[in-house]
Structure 1
Amino acid sequence: MEISIQTITLFTAVILTGLSAGFFYSWSVSVIPGTRKVSALTYLQTMQSINRAILNPAFFLIFFGSLVLLAISTVQQYQTVFSFWFLFSAGLTYLIGTFGVTAFGNVPLNNKLDALNINSLNSGQLSVFRHSYEIKWNRLHLVRTAFAVLSFLFSLLAIFFHSKSL
């Protein structure tokens, strides 16, 4: 049995989308509860450090790769109706709910935090900034996580219908 380029692309899209969903979900159940227990100074220093460290090739491969391969797979699956529509839904869900929320919500907040000179603030100012940042950031993170998981589920369904067409 020969495996087609479409099958490899679809499988890779599903894997990357699953990794993205898993990354955001695991952050929700580990990092967020952990950071709730630290001081404002520690929280802001930690988030600055994480926001800088996350900008790396491994994260970019998963985050951007999901979007690119979902788009390519959608085009490749055009003749397989159910697979196409599930991939289209997965891609649109990921584009708007995961990529869009990150790019237009979380990233601007991260940039604002990155520009902040934490050492020049007193404890009251640190607490005020943390409160504002943390509430908005976590709410946006919850949205992108839900959309990443939904996108992954749609892409899994696409594999099911793709395999039915083989």
Structure 2
Amino acid sequence: MKAISLYSAVFLSGLSAGFYYAWQVSVIPGTKLISDSSFLESMQNINRAIQNPAFLLIFLGTLLALVGAAYFNFSQTEVFRWILAATLIYVFGVLGVTIAGNVPLNEYLDQVQLGRLDARGLSHVRDIFEKSWNLRHLIRTAFALLSFFLILGALYRFG
């Protein structure tokens, strides 16, 4: 069970880090090139669509896999420390930033009735949302990658 839990944590952490990294290097640069109305409408739709089982498996499944790996590897002090570090970084740097930062911004944007705004209003909403959301996304991307590298380190120590 030790090995299965650790491999599961590595796999899901890798998917999580890959998801955030891919978004960081493709979606964010792409959205910088589109109009305010297209950006805001796209983000509203993406934020609604991402609430699906496949994403939740990666988002929450990573946490469960990391906790499971920590539990099953508790007796191996060195490996456990790596797993614990990966878990805490994921909890605070990915889940925490998402829940405390990105989700409230998503909820704010979801309440905006884009059709009622003129060009200036759209630009204002984008200014409020985009810079703050992208900064938080960059932070959670860095933490997701760090968590992934730490759980890989645990796997290296295990084997």
Bucket of the pairwise TM-score, normalised by the shorter protein: over 0.9
- Structure 2 distance, partners of 1:26, 1:130, is 22
Q: Deviations over 1:54-110 (max 9, x none)?
A: 000000001100011101111111111111000000000000000100011000000
Q: Return the alpha-carbon distance in structure 1 between the equivalents of residues 61 and 5 of structure 2.
A: 11
Q: How does 1:3-42 map to 2 (within 5 A)?
A: 5-42=1-38
2:140 counterpart residue number: 144
Q: Which runs of 5+ in 1 are unaligned?
A: none
- Tell me the TM-score normalized by structure 2: 0.99
Residue type of the alignment partner of 1:59: F
Any residues of structure 2 matched to 1:43-82 within 5 Å, and which? 43-82=39-78
Query: C-alpha separation between the residues in 1 aligned to 2:111 and 2:158?
Result: 47
Q: Which runs of 4+ in 1 moved over 4 A?
A: none
- In percent, how many aligned pairs have the same letter? 47
Worse overlay, 74-83 or 52-61: 74-83
The residue identity in structure 1 corresponding to 2:127 is: H
Paired letter, 1:7? A
Distance 1:72 1:35 in 2: 37
Shift of 1:131: 1.1
| 2:70 maps to 1:103 | no
Question: What count of residue pairs does the alignment treat as equivalent?
Answer: 159
Give the counterpart of 1:156 among 142, 152, 155.
Answer: 152
Q: 1:106-142, CA deviations, whole angstroms, 9 ceiling, x for partnerless residues?
A: 0000001011101011110100110110000000000
Indicate the residue corresponding to 1:86 in structure 2.
Answer: 82
Q: Secondary structure at the match of 2:74?
A: coil
Q: For residues 80 and 20 of structure 2, what CA distance do their matches in structure 1 show?
A: 25
Structure 1 equivalent of residue 116 of structure 2: 120
Paired with 1:149 and 1:115, the residues of 2 have a C-alpha distance of 32
